[in-house]
Every structure is written in structure tokens, then in C-alpha cells.
């Protein structure tokens, strides 16, 4: 390997561009520069690695409002007799238990919420209404018999 060294007189005679090229060739051919090349990747490895995830800070802070969700569980139960009750639970804490509510209110609420809810609920309410109507008819017949028996005793 040949290394060209320029003297002061030769440097002034040449243009700066040529001197720069020769200096670059001289540096790349020198054995000291071969030992410096592995040092550069080591310097890159020492640089901190970027962290995973979104960076925190004012520049990346979202201006959107965060929505707070609340879990409320409303359970409405009904019997074949048309008696309805409601229970309300907030997370794991009971807010209300065993509240009696009218069937008409259940029907209105179901219609307000969704048509798919109101159909089955109205069927249950109609069945309860028919059962209660049959019970009223049976009681009215029994009441008529009792009135006739009383009238016969009053003679």
C-alpha cells in the first residue's frame, strides 16, 4: 500500500478540490482508519433505543374528552299474575331491590327503549291481562251465587 504525503509547497500548487481527494484517499488507505470503522457501529449501538408505544408529553396529548362509562344494571321481572318488580344495581352495589312497578309503565318503557323489547313484554302483559279477566269473571260468578244465597236467607 502506498501513502502519498504532500509537502507544503505541493499543497499550495494544487487546487483545493484535488488536495481534498488525495487526503480522503490517504485517510481511507491508512491502517489507523481501519480500526476506527468498528468504533462507529459501537457508537450507534450505545444510542438509546426508541421506547415502544406512544410518546407522552404535551405535543402528543389528546384534546378529546375522555368518556366515563357507568355500569347500571336494571332488572325487570314479571309474574303471570301481572305483578312487576324492578331492581337496580350500580356495579356491585344494589341501589334498589324489589320495587313494585305497574305493568303499564313496563310496557311504555319497553316501547321507548326498542321495538324488539316491547313485543315480547306486551305478550306477557296480555297473557296476564287475560288470566286476570278470567279470574274476575270467576269471582263475579261466585259473588252472584253468594248474593242469591243471601237473598234466600233474608225472606
H or E element, residue 77: strand 72-78
- DSSP 8-state class, residue 32: H
H or E element, residue 90: strand 84-90
Pairing of the two strands 84-90 and 72-78:
antiparallel
Grid cell digits, residue 46: 450505545
Reported confidence tier of residue 109, pLDDT bands at 50, 70, 90: very high
Name the β-bridge partners of 84: 78, 101
Task: Please give the backbone phi and psi of residue 97, each rounded to the nearest 5 degrees, phi first.
Answer: -135, 140
Q: What is the pLDDT of residues 4-33, one digit of tens each?
A: 445 545 444 444 444 444 444 444 444 554
The edge-to-edge listing of strands for the beta sheet with 84-90 is 72-78, 84-90, 93-101
Is the pTM higher than 0.85? The answer reads no
Amino acid at each position: 500500500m502506498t501513502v502519498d504525503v504532500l509537502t507544503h509547497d505541493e499543497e499550495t500548487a494544487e487546487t483545493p478540490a484535488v488536495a481534498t481527494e488525495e487526503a480522503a484517499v490517504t485517510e481511507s488507505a491508512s491502517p489507523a482508519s481501519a480500526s476506527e470503522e468498528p468504533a462507529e457501529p459501537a457508537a450507534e449501538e450505545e444510542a438509546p433505543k426508541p421506547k415502544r408505544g406512544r410518546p407522552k408529553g404535551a405535543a402528543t396529548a389528546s384534546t378529546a374528552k375522555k368518556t366515563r362509562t357507568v355500569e347500571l344494571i336494571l332488572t325487570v321481572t314479571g309474574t303471570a299474575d301481572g305483578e312487576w318488580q324492578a331492581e337496580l344495581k350500580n356495579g356491585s352495589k344494589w341501589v334498589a331491590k324489589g320495587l313494585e312497578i305497574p305493568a303499564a309503565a313496563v310496557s311504555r318503557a319497553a316501547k321507548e327503549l326498542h321495538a324488539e323489547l316491547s313485543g315480547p313484554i306486551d305478550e306477557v302483559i296480555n297473557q296476564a291481562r287475560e288470566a286476570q279477566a278470567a279470574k274476575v269473571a270467576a269471582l263475579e260468578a261466585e259473588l252472584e251465587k253468594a248474593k242469591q244465597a243471601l237473598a234466600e236467607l233474608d225472606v
